[in-house]
A and B are shown apart, each in its own frame.
Chain A
């Protein structure tokens, strides 16, 4: 096993931990501002360093870069093995981009007036950032699993301590559901590691591709399929893919705003990332065989999520269900198993992180002012907060997939890939495209209910003007919305070779398998 020196990636990964350590020695009462700015400073520093990663990243190379590998438990073939390709990079960037926004937004939040423990809150934020970056850079199944589980802990406490009225219920539900899936993944991880003699993903994938490592496959229910499903179910709960979504509204509705933003912005992506990184290249045949099934669930998720979203009276719940719909697009994009679908799916992850994260920020700002999430309590807000209304409109339109804004680019490429897919095809595309209509229906419904109409409710007439962190955060989001919408080519280039390698690793099994299954 090769040993490597300190990589920039490790620095990026552990920078939040450094900040966390410093925070621990600060006094909550006397250094309130210092705590905030330290947290924000470290998240920004992490972001800047990840930009450096981007600058140094070679997009033409599909393999791992910034690799660092050190023995950890050599007896079991476990090592500290980190590295990123274009796919990992784009998600690390998303994480380090979303975190400062979430932290900055928390500066003016009222949650600490009720619940206190501000220092602990920021400690959990940095812990969460560390774990999330870890998930996206880990190249060893065991390390990955550890990071995966560690993300649960800070999130559990963020929801459980600073959440809404039913925070404990939501936190426990979130924890248990994810945990339940993780158990299956753990079993699959152990089996795979045992068979391969190593937990290093690149080596396992190389073995599978070369045919030296075989997970027997002869249909929808065989060894490989069960391993695939073990991973998939863990990821599907996280995404969440259609029938596994019932934890999501609770977690989103109860979480504090920053928690919702991170949950929608990054945590959900861990699921889809996992599918791309682990399920597809390690179990290619099973992926092809199960693609139509997962595709159907994705399409159901798109339509169902949108439809249910329309009937919600709680804004946060509405946005939460819209996540189910949007992530359905990502899922079918992945299982289209072609370059368009896959890259669209990855970009859509970023887009969803930005747009839905933005929507949660909007809802959070409204909640800070009115302390209600009931959609009927609003109306005419555009008049009370004109600038806020305009930014909200842009984010809403982006979430609806308006061409020229970011949401469209992802959706379009995904649907394009779906229609031309060898495994999905035109029927899937037809139904999935209906989601575009439905998105307009529920998004405009929300926008109208909240922002349009007469400003007739007295408590809405004197809302606190936007604070500078709020303005900053929203403007940054809107700038990203336009940038990705108009110039998405940069992002596609970043991941093109990496995702293509993954697609190819599956595609080579497609023809004979589709023939076999038909």
Chain B
């Protein structure tokens, strides 16, 4: 089935075409057609992703590298050995990303068809969503850093366009949306700066930007069992090699072969069977043997012995260089040697420094994309976009790109210990700080936004402690339950708008409120920069008046309460999502979070790593925050009594919205089982029989060299669960009443004097935005204005007018008066005067008397004669 991989370019083509159609003909299409085109394009990518999955399982997880047809290479400078192709990589890591990105993406497309109903740029919205999907898939499937960067920036642009989707809303709301979009893009650009620097260093160190070359194996050790199979079944292999690509034949042999695998533990085998399930481990049977003479680019190599150093990709080279001892060298394959010394232009250093630098720059990039300290500030503001966007881009997919990049580059991080420590600290602190900021928010989406930042912190911290598979695992589960939560919140917001609209129609005659729902939603979709003041601290009487008036905010949790009775489906799915996020056993969040914590525990205890202790401490605290703020949110939104009349008129959402919620809810429950830790005991409910143990990790290990299998730690699992339950218990105690807020709509934590400063600090989002405003934005603008003034007033005007022009005029004056008139004319005139003076003296001799002249003549004659005669006289 190797040809199956050749359809990989379609995964980008479909959404591109969908986007193109909606762009060009969108205004002429009706909503239904736009939505169908967009959703079908997205759905098609999911089926192609499934195809890629079956390709991998059917081909022994051999990565495929696909050059898209019709396109020539991309960047190619022959004389500089620069060759960067458009090339897709289908391997287990990219397919993992593909699967959940396309799946969640498709659901969100369907959801958006309901949510965006009535928007005047409906088709444009679907065009953007499709475009986003195309770029996200480029990001994920690119086989080199630069292609990844194309997707990276492309999703950034889509994010920019979608955050600012309602840029034309009245009363300054539109500009606020545009500001949020711009903030997101610029924060991301700061990160991109890091990525670019990392790419430059990578290129000069390894002479390439390709992750892996065709036929290169990312993790040879993980393929070892296939070699052993190969030895024992050499005959069988030959007989089956011809059938490859035809069908799934030979499953029987496949299973028996797999069962005889000797290199890896039995756990692995089970895992494979579980993972492959209906493909039944045809893996081993379908493939060719060992390193034996396959020039076919899809051929089957189990290690990289057939490749010289120069033929390896970036990570392969890095792996070899980093393992070299001091002074050792390695043959490049062209007769020259390469050692630990790296020469980049005029700069000479060693490989460790370079790799650390690359990792550090990548961390900056990841901090931008995956919203980590210090660049996370854009993500909460990005909630200005429509809710499906928040769910898709700013929770499930795009923001995970930073983590994806770090996992993809796990070789760099694995060897860069100090940088990994920094990564851990950044991730852990972000997780904790964002969790803290989440618990003081009033905006339903903003809570989720901080929660996303916090969960991304978990993933980054996981990368820091070397738990790469756990990071991807958490990314995957998070994509499901966070998308679920966002869509749920969208459903709530939608409902609140309807309720409020209804209220106005009946309660207030609605004369002046003829605007449609969407306009209203947009008007309040973002708090922009001023939400500090807007959300205030709940003790502002005036604010409450507004809440019942024109300034009704459908996202403000203070206006909600008791919605569980009005929207049961939303409620149930939301609670599932919240519980998964809080890490309640046995939902998906429990497994992924527990794996990170367990890995941190083992890094701390067994390896004695500082990063392990840091991660464990910070993340446990963050887990407590998570459970607490989710409890607060669920109770504020769904329980108690409605705090606004609008609640009474809230309807359940339409099927386009609830069906995706239900599907995501189901996945949020079960998706955690794809990576059960080894030895889970009773905790797995015996489901390892279905899913296998650490199936995802095994699967990822084919692409992620330093991934390792997570074990179950009862202690950590119990502590984490205990922490979560404690937080939930505490949350219910505080927010569990009929109306947890007091008569001024103040938070119980605010009412309690002891917690008031903390709540204020959290509500003000730790003053990050204000600090950045003072530290960076205002100085930047001030310097810009200063420079512009210096440039214009000084360099342009003053230098031109005063120095050059006046100088020119001045010199001209000097030249004309003193120089020309004085010196040059003076000289001429002086000569005249001199002649006159001399002649005045000489004229005295001219008496006019002929006699005198005659005497002179005589004297002259005599003198001449004497002179003539002198020689004669002297003899």
Is the pairing of A and B real? yes
B203 within 8 A of A: yes
Interface size class of A (residues with CB under 8 A): 35 or more
B178 touches A452 (CB 8 A): yes
In the bound complex, what is the Cα–Cα distance between A340 and B152 (angstroms)?
Answer: 23
A453 touches B175 (CB 8 A): yes
- Can you spell out 27 A-B residue pairs with CB atoms less than 8 angstroms apart? A246-B795, A304-B787, A307-B784, A311-B789, A380-B168, A403-B150, A403-B152, A404-B153, A412-B146, A416-B199, A416-B203, A419-B197, A434-B193, A437-B190, A441-B780, A444-B185, A445-B182, A453-B167, A453-B174, A453-B175, A486-B74, A487-B72, A489-B74, A489-B75, A492-B77, A497-B79, A499-B79
Shortest CB–CB separation between residue A61 and chain B, in angstroms? 14
Chain A: which residue is nearest B200 at the CB level? A419
**Which residues of the partner chain B approach A338 to less than 8 Å between Cβ atoms?**
80
**Which residues of the partner chain B approach A307 to less than 8 Å between Cβ atoms?**
783-784, 787
A65 within 8 A of B: no
B732 within 8 A of A: no
A contacts with B: majority SS: helix
**Which residues of the partner chain A approach B327 to less than 8 Å between Cβ atoms?**
none
Q: Spot the interface stretch: B37-45, B312-320, B343-351.
A: B343-351
B153 touches A402 (CB 8 A): yes
B78 touches A420 (CB 8 A): no
Shortest CB–CB separation between residue B523 and chain A, in angstroms? 11
A426 touches B79 (CB 8 A): no
**Which residues of the partner chain B approach A423 to less than 8 Å between Cβ atoms?**
345-346
In the bound complex, what is the Cα–Cα distance between A161 and B199 (angstroms)?
Answer: 49
Interface residues of B in 64-103 (CB under 8 A from A): 71-80, 82, 86
Given pairs A308-B788, A343-B80, A445-B182, 10 additional interface contacts (CB within 8 A): A249-B792, A307-B784, A311-B781, A339-B79, A340-B82, A412-B196, A420-B200, A448-B178, A454-B175, A514-B346
A57 within 8 A of B: no
B164 within 8 A of A: yes
Chain A: which residue is nearest B83 at the CB level? A489
B796 within 8 A of A: yes
Mark each residue of chain B from 753 to 773: 1 if its CB lies under 8 Å from any CB of chain A, else 0.
000000000000000000000
**Which residues of the partner chain A approach B799 to less than 8 Å between Cβ atoms?**
246
B189 within 8 A of A: yes
B277 within 8 A of A: no
Chain B: which residue is nearest A439 at the CB level? B189
Rank and list the top 6 A-B pairs by shortest CB-CB distance, nearest first.
A311-B788, A339-B80, A311-B784, A500-B79, A452-B167, A403-B150
**Which residues of the partner chain A approach B346 to less than 8 Å between Cβ atoms?**
421-423, 425, 514
**Which residues of the partner chain B approach A380 to less than 8 Å between Cβ atoms?**
168, 174
Interface residues of A in 376-435 (CB under 8 A from B): 380, 382-383, 390, 397, 402-404, 408-409, 412-413, 415-417, 419-426, 429-430, 433-434
**Which residues of the partner chain B approach A454 to less than 8 Å between Cβ atoms?**
168-172, 174-175
Mark each residue of chain A from 264 to 304: 1 if its CB lies under 8 Å from any CB of chain B, else 0.
00000000000000000000000000000000000000001
Shortest CB–CB separation between residue B103 and chain A, in angstroms? 25
A372 within 8 A of B: no
B345 touches A421 (CB 8 A): yes
Q: A340-B82, A434-B193 are in contact. Are A492 and B71 (CB under 8 A)?
A: no
A310 within 8 A of B: yes
**Which residues of the partner chain B approach A430 to less than 8 Å between Cβ atoms?**
197
Within 8 Å by CB of B192, from A343, A421, A436, A448, lies A436
**Which residues of the partner chain B approach A500 to less than 8 Å between Cβ atoms?**
79
A64 within 8 A of B: no
In the bound complex, what is the Cα–Cα distance between A417 and B800 (angstroms)?
Answer: 36
B190 touches A339 (CB 8 A): no
Shortest CB–CB separation between residue B85 and chain A, in angstroms? 9
Shortest CB–CB separation between residue A373 and chain B, in angstroms? 15
In the bound complex, what is the Cα–Cα distance between A251 and B592 (angstroms)?
Answer: 61
B300 within 8 A of A: no
Shortest CB–CB separation between residue A291 and chain B, in angstroms? 11
Chain A: which residue is nearest B197 at the CB level? A433
A173 touches B800 (CB 8 A): yes
B168 touches A453 (CB 8 A): yes
A1 within 8 A of B: no
B788 touches A487 (CB 8 A): no
Q: A416-B203, A419-B200, A419-B345 are in contact. Are A246 and B796 (CB under 8 A)?
A: yes
Chain A: which residue is nearest B171 at the CB level? A454
**Which residues of the partner chain A approach B788 to less than 8 Å between Cβ atoms?**
308, 310-312
In the bound complex, what is the Cα–Cα distance between A23 and B193 (angstroms)?
Answer: 52
**Which residues of the partner chain B approach A312 to less than 8 Å between Cβ atoms?**
788
A459 within 8 A of B: no
B784 touches A493 (CB 8 A): no
A429 touches B153 (CB 8 A): no
Chain B: which residue is nearest A403 at the CB level? B150
A452 touches B174 (CB 8 A): yes
In the bound complex, what is the Cα–Cα distance between A496 and B74 (angstroms)?
Answer: 15
**Which residues of the partner chain A approach B185 to less than 8 Å between Cβ atoms?**
440, 444
B344 touches A339 (CB 8 A): no
B784 touches A425 (CB 8 A): no
B345 touches A424 (CB 8 A): yes
In the bound complex, what is the Cα–Cα distance between A111 and B279 (angstroms)?
Answer: 72
Shortest CB–CB separation between residue B568 and chain A, in angstroms? 39
B201 touches A490 (CB 8 A): no
Shortest CB–CB separation between residue A506 and chain B, in angstroms? 14
Mark each residue of chain A from 459 to 493: 1 if its CB lies under 8 Å from any CB of chain B, else 0.
00000000000000000000000000011111011
A455 within 8 A of B: yes
Mark each residue of chain B from 776 to 801: 1 if its CB lies under 8 Å from any CB of chain A, else 0.
00001101110111011001100110
**Which residues of the partner chain A approach B584 to less than 8 Å between Cβ atoms?**
none
Shortest CB–CB separation between residue A510 and chain B, in angstroms? 10
B204 touches A420 (CB 8 A): yes
In the bound complex, what is the Cα–Cα distance between A415 and B170 (angstroms)?
Answer: 42
A308 touches B76 (CB 8 A): no
B175 touches A452 (CB 8 A): yes
**Which residues of the partner chain A approach B76 to less than 8 Å between Cβ atoms?**
489, 492-493
B157 within 8 A of A: yes
Shortest CB–CB separation between residue A518 and chain B, in angstroms? 9
**Which residues of the partner chain A approach B784 to less than 8 Å between Cβ atoms?**
307-308, 310-311
B422 within 8 A of A: no
B164 touches A433 (CB 8 A): no
B200 touches A425 (CB 8 A): no
In the bound complex, what is the Cα–Cα distance between A114 and B189 (angstroms)?
Answer: 44
B200 touches A436 (CB 8 A): no
Within 8 Å by CB of B77, from A383, A403, A413, A448, lies A413
In the bound complex, what is the Cα–Cα distance between A393 and B167 (angstroms)?
Answer: 14
Q: A308-B788, A403-B154 are in contact. Are A436 and B79 (CB under 8 A)?
A: no
B72 touches A489 (CB 8 A): yes
In the bound complex, what is the Cα–Cα distance between A95 and B65 (angstroms)?
Answer: 40
Name which of A243, A308, A343, A409 has the most chain B CB atoms within 10 A of its CB: A308
B82 touches A426 (CB 8 A): no
A404 touches B150 (CB 8 A): yes
Within 8 Å by CB of B344, from A403, A426, A503, A514, lies A426
**Which residues of the partner chain A approach B780 to less than 8 Å between Cβ atoms?**
310, 441
Within 8 Å by CB of A403, from B153, B167, B169, B172, lies B153
Shortest CB–CB separation between residue B788 and chain A, in angstroms? 4
B629 within 8 A of A: no
Chain A: which residue is nearest B149 at the CB level? A403
B196 touches A422 (CB 8 A): no
Chain A: which residue is nearest B80 at the CB level? A339
B186 within 8 A of A: yes
